[in-house]
Structure 1
Amino acid sequence: MSLSDSDVVLSVIVPVLNEAGVIPELLTELMVLCEQSEVGVEIIFVDGGSSDNSVGLIAASPFRVLAGPQGRARQMNFGAAAAAGSYLLFLHADTQLPDWAFSRVITALQSGLWGRFDVRIRGDAPMFKVIAWFMNWRSRLSGIATGDQGIFVRETAFIEAGGFPDQPLMEDIALSALLRDREAPVCLRNKVETSGRRWQKRGIWRTILLMWRLRYLYWRGVPAEQLASRYD
């Protein structure tokens, strides 16, 4: 999958840190999506200092892996700076894209400035369907997207917004707010599927209440650096 910079239309940027458990499936999925695409797509992984075999697995694939600074916002900004595409898609390692996702993103960005997918949560808990419905509804109402929804944006708009703010939490919310001030997002109803591990690890209701509280405090002006310690 060797492309010259002039051939690349879409750059997909994936920050990783100790994600060896999900990377093989992600690599397979991305290869299929690249084959589906009629235009040039590059995949850029940015490692934040993994101590597992994440880098080795990616290095054995056709995709690029860069050693970047630690911290998801910094990793994504680092990847964007190295990207050749005029369109950018930021993808979490545990998020699966729908079929023809790259074509859908390119079509959306030909008329819009930025956007995101709807989301479903992977797992057996019936409550996951309710959580995902509220996430998608809230995003449409507020014009704010989360990283789990696969944020995509024109490179020019991303640069003009200053990229992801350099903060350890809520970087997706902060970028969304900056982009929303310019234009409402394109909200694709095609669903990405994100892992339910965060909810399963802490407990579903405990995680819901925690995220509501953190977002409320962030909205009230509490620095993300303070909130990050409560999230860990």
Structure 2
Amino acid sequence: MISPNRLLIFTRYPVPGQAKTRLIPALGAEGSALLQRQMTEHTLRQIEPLIQTDRCSAEIWYAAGADAENELQQMRDWLGAERQYLSQVEGDLGVKLTAAFQNAFKRGAEKVLAIGTDCPGLGSDRLKEAYQQLESHDLVLGKATDGGYYLIGMKRLIPELFRDITWGTSEVLRQTVAIAQSLNLSIAYLDELSDIDYPEDLPIWHRAKEYKTPLSVIIPTVNEGRSIQATLQNIQEACGEEAIEVLVIDGKSEDDTIAQVQAAGIPVISAPRNRAEQMNLGAQLASGENFLFLHADTRLPAGFPALVRQTLVQPGTIAGAFQLQIAGDLPGLRLVEWGVNRRSHLLQMPYGDQAIFLSAAAFYELGGFPELPIMEDFEMILRLRQRGGIRIVPAAVKTSGRRWQRLGVLKTTLVNQAMITGYFLGVPPDRLARWYRGLDSASRDRPIP
């Protein structure tokens, strides 16, 4: 039996370049589409308690294009075949809303609400309140902080409310209220909430989103076709039966990196060729309670999700990393490993190739990696040390020895120390990055280690 309370959910299939376009400058086309996917799924989870009690029936109104049959199948494959789907009509938002409300009332609905999927604070309790307010009011509006509304509800079609509105601006709510008042409609308002429309709104999403998995592994890549397949296979084998999330953030690779990652069924998000920006973007889109930042040529130890979890619950711990092994038999590599591991333990100063990990909450509180052209992991560790302990897991990652093979053990060590010394002496990071690339020409096609 269909409930007389109807909920119209407006969304679209997350196609890169078409979804959440105002966020593309911050997240890229793929990242914005992924966020659209996450927010739609979040909204459906939030309203599910109301649907399951038969207090209302829900319809998903999706943006349709030329291939209607295929688009409907995409929606069903994504959100489930058991839901009811209707395609939005062509026209502006007012035309779409008018058609959807008209359809609902024609099919017997008595109280109808319409919502989007970009307001993470909207849940079942506010929907219940909206239906209750319609018992004694003609119109209910959920005020959005940007001057629009995140919910509109009525007991009969009032098409005037959707005409002559400057959609997408801060005037939407004011104009709607003015029309309602001119029609002598009684209005009820819900608490003000925030939509996620612009890059500056993203912290709202971080605070509201649920953790879907215990751990997100975030891998920045640039031309890592020689390494990435083995890295992804290692992650799959080393995590055992634990559910984790893997995100690859690619800095415009020119080899087959992207094709290899996509063949493994893992999302690839495009980003600028800067490892700090890539890792920050990955964190913006990740849904794990904890983040692990992994270099594309580094292998994780067996059972690493449990090791991360066990480390971060230790009192006073804000972050962690693994001991380091370097692949290869070059003379001096074992000495380098010993020195790195001693430094990490004694000074709490691991570097990025040791797979730094921390909670999502700590990452957001810190503001992410400083977006430097070099030394971003070093600066991140300095900031973390001011807030808590950094523990080293008694298990090792194994990183590629390609830099040591290319430059030699002594030269690689001297270059690394020169970068650290220069950074401490206040040499601008841009200049350090140019020096580094001059010393290691092969680094020009991938992020600086």
Distance in 2, Cα, partners of 1:62 & 1:98: 22
Matched, 1:46 2:245: no
> 2:375 — aligned with what?
170
Matched, 1:156 2:156: no
Counterpart secondary structure, 1:113: strand
Counterpart secondary structure, 2:244: strand
Aligned residues of 1:37 and 1:100 also touching (Cα < 8 A):
no
Which digits, 9 at most, give the CA deviation of each residue in 1:48-79, with x for residues without a partner?
00000000000011322111222001000000
Give the Å deviation of 1:8: 0.9
Distance in 1, Cα, partners of 2:288 & 2:333: 34
> 2:176 — aligned with what?
none
Structure number with greater CO (CA < 8 Å, separation at least 6) is 1
Aligned length: 228
Matched, 1:105 2:308: yes
The 5-angstrom pairing of residues 52-91 of structure 1 reads: 52-91=255-294
Letter in 2 for 1:162: G
Matched, 1:179 2:384: yes
> 2:405 — aligned with what?
200
> 1:223 — aligned with what?
428
Q: Which of residues 322, 326, 347 in structure 2 aligns to 1:117?
A: 322
CA RMSD, Structure 1 to Structure 2 (Å): 1.5
Letter in 2 for 1:92: H
> 1:18 — aligned with what?
223
> 2:393 — aligned with what?
188
Distance in 2, Cα, partners of 1:110 & 1:31: 24
Give the Å deviation of 1:7: 3.2
Give the Å deviation of 1:33: 2.6
Distance in 2, Cα, partners of 1:88 & 1:37: 18
Aligned residues of 2:345 and 2:391 also touching (Cα < 8 A):
no
Distance in 1, Cα, partners of 2:349 & 2:269: 29
Letter in 1 for 2:435: R
Consecutive unaligned residues of structure 2, counting only runs of 5 or more, are 1-37, 42-209, 438-449
Structure with higher Rg: it is 2
Consecutive unaligned residues of structure 1, counting only runs of 5 or more, are none
Give the Å deviation of 1:126: 2.9
Letter in 1 for 2:251: G
Distance in 2, Cα, partners of 1:141 & 1:215: 17
Which digits, 9 at most, give the CA deviation of each residue in 1:118-153, with x for residues without a partner?
001101113111001101111222222201101001
Distance in 2, Cα, partners of 1:28 & 1:122: 17
Distance in 2, Cα, partners of 1:21 & 1:216: 32
Counterpart secondary structure, 2:371: coil
Counterpart secondary structure, 1:28: helix
Give the Å deviation of 1:37: 4.0
TM-score when scaled to structure 1?
0.94
Alpha carbons of 1:63 and 1:225: their partners in 2 closer, same or farther (altered >3 Å)? Answer: same
Distance in 2, Cα, partners of 1:147 & 1:186: 14
Letter in 2 for 1:62: G
Distance in 2, Cα, partners of 1:67 & 1:213: 31
Distance in 2, Cα, partners of 1:140 & 1:220: 24
Alpha carbons of 1:224 and 1:37: their partners in 2 closer, same or farther (altered >3 Å)? Answer: farther
Aligned residues of 1:14 and 1:92 also touching (Cα < 8 A):
yes
Aligned residues of 1:20 and 1:57 also touching (Cα < 8 A):
yes
Distance in 2, Cα, partners of 1:56 & 1:80: 22
> 1:143 — aligned with what?
348
Distance in 2, Cα, partners of 1:145 & 1:161: 17
Letter in 2 for 1:190: A
Aligned residues of 2:348 and 2:391 also touching (Cα < 8 A):
no
Counterpart secondary structure, 1:190: strand
Matched, 1:209 2:407: no
Distance in 1, Cα, partners of 2:427 & 2:362: 27
Distance in 2, Cα, partners of 1:196 & 1:231: 18
